[in-house]
Amino acid sequence: MNLSSLKISQTVVVTGLVFLLAACNPTVTRVDSDSVTDLSGKWNDTDSRLVAQEMIQDVLSRGWLSKFNRKSGKTPTVIVGTVRNLSHEHINTRTFIADMERELINSGEVDFVASAQDRKEIRQEVKEQDLNASEATRKSMGQEIGADFMLQGSINTIVDAVSGEQARFYQIDLALIELGTNRKVWVGQKKIKKTIEKGGFRL
């Protein structure tokens, strides 16, 4: 092989490596956080946000709220409890709970208290203040606001697949329960159905 042929071969190899490396590097595009990005057909951030908005709007529009206001003369205090993932896939229910908490707090219709997990850290801080903070600034134990209602629920799925096509059905059930009496004052349900064509999913 002469020198000219060797240089051409080297150029071809280098060019091929450049294209190969370029193909291996991912292309990242920033999109609006509110945009719909259904890539796999699975539960995603859009589902979490839209379901939380719709269900919290529904619970706050029902008669239990005005009845409580008239009876007690105050705004109800709400806490979000457990949302169980009963689906076939991994779902980060914590982000869904956070979306509902945001909608509840920003509505201004209810007061909101920290979850059981959050309260552990807060109580530890109050305990530390009792030992170390000045008398004028320390917060005392036993001053927490008790919740009147707890919101809890579950996420279920049904998957139907045949000949390279798949349908995913999500059902979100929530209930608002009066603490002390265990009376359900509101029950809400949201259904989502997605179809995924051949090549768009893995069984």
Residue 54 counted as domain residue: yes
Q: What is the pLDDT of residue 33?
A: 58
Residue 79's H or E segment, with its range, is: strand 77-85
43, 86 in Cβ contact below 8 A? no
Residue 130 counted as domain residue: no
Residue 78's H or E segment, with its range, is: strand 77-85
Determine the average pLDDT of the residues in 86-105: 91
Residue 36 counted as domain residue: no
**pTM listed for this prediction:** 0.75
Beta bridge partners of 79: 150
| CA–CA–CA angle 81, 91, 188 (5° rounding) | 50
Residue 192 counted as domain residue: yes
Residue 4 counted as domain residue: no
CATH code: domain of residue 186: 3.40.50.10610
Tens digit of each residue's pLDDT (9 = 90 or more) over 167-194: 889 999 999 999 999 999 999 999 999 8
Quick check: helix, strand or coil at residue 81?
A: strand
Residue 24 counted as domain residue: no
* Distance in angstroms (rounded) separating the CA atoms of residues 156 and 85: 7
What is the count of structural domains for the chain? Answer: 1
Tens digit of each residue's pLDDT (9 = 90 or more) over 113-127: 988 888 889 889 988
What is the extent of the structural domain holding 188?
43-115+145-196
Residue 162 counted as domain residue: yes
Determine the average pLDDT of the residues in 41-69: 92
Q: What is the pLDDT of residue 202?
A: 47
Residue 166 counted as domain residue: yes
